[in-house]
Amino acid sequence: MAIIVQKFGGTSVADAKKILSAAHKAIGAQQAGHQVVVVVSAMGKNTDMLVDLAGQITDRPLAREMDMLLSTGEQVSVALMAMAIHSLGHKAVSLTGAQIGIKTDSSHTKARIQSISTERLGQLLDEGHIVIAAGFQGIDENFNITTLGRGGSDLTAVALAAVLRAEACEIYTDVDGVYTTDPRKIPEARRMAQISYDEMLELASLGAGVMHSRSVEFGKKFGVPIHVRSSFVDAPGTMVVAEPEASGQPVGGAALTEDEARVTVSDVPDQPGTSYAILSRIAAKNISVDMIVQNVGAEGKADISFTVLRNDLPLATEAVTEALGDLGAGTLDYDDQVSKVSAVGLGMARQTGVAHQMFRALSDAGVNVQMITTSEIKISVLVERRGAVDALRAVHQTFGLGTPPATPGPPVAASKGAAVPDALAPDALAVVTRLAGMEDLVIEGVVLDDTQARLTIADVPDRPGIAAAVFEKIAAGGLFVDMIVQSSGHQGRTILSFTVPAQDLETALGLTGEIAAEFGCGAVTSSPHVAKLSVSGVGMRSHTGVAMRMFKSLAELGINVEMINTSEVRVNVVVDGRHGQQGLACLQQAFADVLLS
């Protein structure tokens, strides 16, 4: 009999009436012939309330006790949900994470799932029970209760769907699907019928809170069809599957991370190992960094800027201060009034001009772009927080995201009609058998592209419109731009670097020189031959150590990282072209233990 997993978020179980309504949904699915597992979150804002309560006792609660506290929210919900189902005349059993056997590592408050036993679940389902599982929690090897990180009930749901080989995982929430951007911020946003795992992953990690990004990693790794839909209206929602909604469209969605902070470390030695020295101190505190940009400055000195979540800023500055102590040089500067706006799309990699269209739209909206990083499937910019929603709107509008695509992608049956995977897909099986823990990092490949050249414009004035002008001109010249990074940090000095095919370098230099002169920028320099080294896989960003391993192994060989960008599925670094082959070999070795072959 086909299994279905239904997950109800906090607002969907906020009071007794809503719990009963969710219970009806579960019973309905059982009556339609499914075995049903229900995953529930804490009621309403219960978890926030518990966090607040802890804060009233101490500002430094032990993470273990925090988990003990937070896990109670879900325990309340499962019991009530089971009672609701009993009251409607059906069989149900509630289980905590520990009772199910969700084993995690011991990193309290952000634990990772290692394994899930299915025996007890299977038995209860076979006996005709609806199983009610507490979301967001697990247990470590010493029987300590752990939690999976805020929003982690999604993860419990998708992980259970994966191990039970469920037909689908339904995520019931307070919106009726995944929108092109957060509909509460941009009312013109449109519900998508379908979205690819990679786009959803990227959007989730860039601020689209509708799904927890690690749950989408799970979905992708194990091929679980995810159906995001409304708890309150009975209508089809959004299928998160392998294929995107529309082919040929460069951008599928946009996202905003409002509470970001920029950290800039200036005047550090421009030598291999400097970035590693700084970023490893940050990784040691388990802080995720994004938008890492390194600029080569004057007199053998470099600047490194990156962003962290604003909440992580105190810890990040502490880490940087330690690193500056190690390096014996450098200064620290930060801005905690910034937000990150991103455009995401699988089609971006194959089209020119996406970046300049975004920069132009931002410039027309009067938004000054403080930092830029791009990857194959996303462009992120850092802007002042005050204008961030306007910036998001400008991006949403310029890519026409409010309008349904003209050429829809292949249709995907909603959960009822989806094919039941009778076994995990072969590659998923390969993954599972090789992993010690289900959420472990998986690397699919390490590749070298040594066909590109890099251009850098120094001292770009810090005002709207310049990036737009540069990339419009380059696109009008018919050139393809791959990586773009810009940082504005120290004393308003902005440096813009990008890569083009090596054979187009002369043309690009001519066009860039004209723009630089027109806007009063500094010198344009270039490197005729750079090597782009890429590591791709699943969990690239949520495992903070990936970029670190790359920096470390390259630094050990004395190779300097000139540019970097990260996405959920790939980390790219640019190094001097002479080091391409050596860099490739060293990265292959560095990731040998997690490389799928």
Task: Return the residue of 44, 135, 151, 539 that touches Mg ion, per CB under 5 A.
Answer: 151
- Nearest position to ligand ADP, beta carbon: 9
Select 151 or 177, whichever has its Cβ closest to ligand ASP: 151
Select 174 or 459, whichever has its Cβ closest to ligand ADP: 174
Position 135 contacts ligand ADP (CB under 6 A): no
Q: Which amino acid is at 425?
A: A
Position 42 contacts ligand ASP (CB under 6 A): yes
Task: Return the residue of 65, 86, 120, 174 that touches ligand ADP, per CB under 6 A.
Answer: 174
Select 66 or 447, whichever has its Cβ closest to ligand ASP: 66
Helices 354-364 & 466-476 angle (0-180, nearest 10): 150
| Stretch 344-383 residues interacting with ligand ADP (CB under 6 A) | none
What minimum distance in Å lies between the beta carbon of 202 and ligand ADP? 11
By CB neighbour count within 10 A (0-12 exposed, 13-18 middle, 19+ buried), where does 318 fall? middle
- Is residue 568 within 8 Å of 240, Cβ to Cβ? no
CA dihedral (492, 493, 498, 503) positive or negative: positive
- Is residue 163 within 8 Å of 210, Cβ to Cβ? no
Task: Return the residue of 3, 4, 11, 341 that touches ligand ADP, per CB under 6 A.
Answer: 11
Task: Return the residue of 124, 178, 193, 282 that touches ligand ADP, per CB under 6 A.
Answer: 178
Is 491 strand, coil or helix? helix
Q: Quick one: tokens of 539? A: 């969990």
Pattern 147-176, ligand ASP, x by CB under 6 A: ---xxxxx----------------------
Considering only the C-alpha atoms of the chain, give the largest distance between any 2 of them, rounded to a whole number of Å: 78
- Is residue 487 within 8 Å of 494, Cβ to Cβ? yes
Select 50 or 242, whichever has its Cβ closest to ligand ASP: 50
Q: Which amino acid is at 48?
A: D
What minimum distance in Å lies between the beta carbon of 10 and ligand ADP? 4
Show the beta-strand stretches assigned E in 289-441: 290-296, 301-309, 331-344, 371-375, 378-384
Q: Give the H or E element holding residue 392.
A: helix 388-398
Select 41 or 205, whichever has its Cβ closest to ligand ASP: 41
Pattern 64-103, ligand ASP, x by CB under 6 A: ---------x------------------------------
Helices 545-556 & 580-590 angle (0-180, nearest 10): 130
Position 10 contacts ligand ASP (CB under 6 A): yes
What distance in Å separates the CA atoms of residue 84 and residue 132, rounded to the nearest whole number?
A: 11
Task: Return the residue of 184, 285, 350, 463 that touches ligand ADP, per CB under 6 A.
Answer: 184
Position 495 contacts ligand ADP (CB under 6 A): no
The one segment of 175-183, 317-325, 397-405, 580-588 that binds ligand ADP by CB under 6 A: 175-183
What distance in Å separates the CA atoms of residue 252 and residue 198, rounded to the nearest whole number?
A: 11
What minimum distance in Å lies between the beta carbon of 238 and ligand ADP? 8
Show the beta-strand stretches assigned E in 105-147: 113-116, 130-134, 137-139, 145-147
The entry of ligand ADP, ligand ASP, Mg ion, none near residue 47 (CB within 5 to 8 angstroms by kind) is ligand ASP
**Secondary structure string (H, E, C) spanning 498-528:** EEEEHHHHHHHHHHHHHHHHHCCCCCEEEEE
What minimum distance in Å lies between the beta carbon of 346 and ligand ADP? 16
Task: Return the residue of 208, 475, 546, 594 that touches ligand ADP, per CB under 6 A.
Answer: 208
Position 249 contacts ligand ASP (CB under 6 A): no
| Stretch 9-48 residues interacting with Mg ion (CB under 5 A) | 9
What minimum distance in Å lies between the beta carbon of 533 and ligand ASP? 36
The one segment of 159-167, 181-189, 278-286, 396-404 that binds ligand ADP by CB under 6 A: 181-189
Select 343 or 516, whichever has its Cβ closest to ligand ADP: 343
Token pair 């390490």 is at which residue? 446
Cα 208 vs. chain centroid, distance in angstroms? Answer: 9
Written as one string, the DSSP assignment of 51-102 is: HHHHHHH-SS--HHHHHHHHHHHHHHHHHHHHHHHHHTT--EEEE-HHHHTE
Q: Which amino acid is at 115?
A: S
Q: Applying CB under 5 A, which residues contact Mg ion?
A: 9, 151
Q: Applying CB under 6 A, which residues contact ligand ASP?
A: 9-10, 41-42, 47, 73, 135-136, 150-154
Q: Applying CB under 6 A, which residues contact ligand ADP?
A: 9-12, 41, 151, 173-175, 178-179, 181-184, 208-210
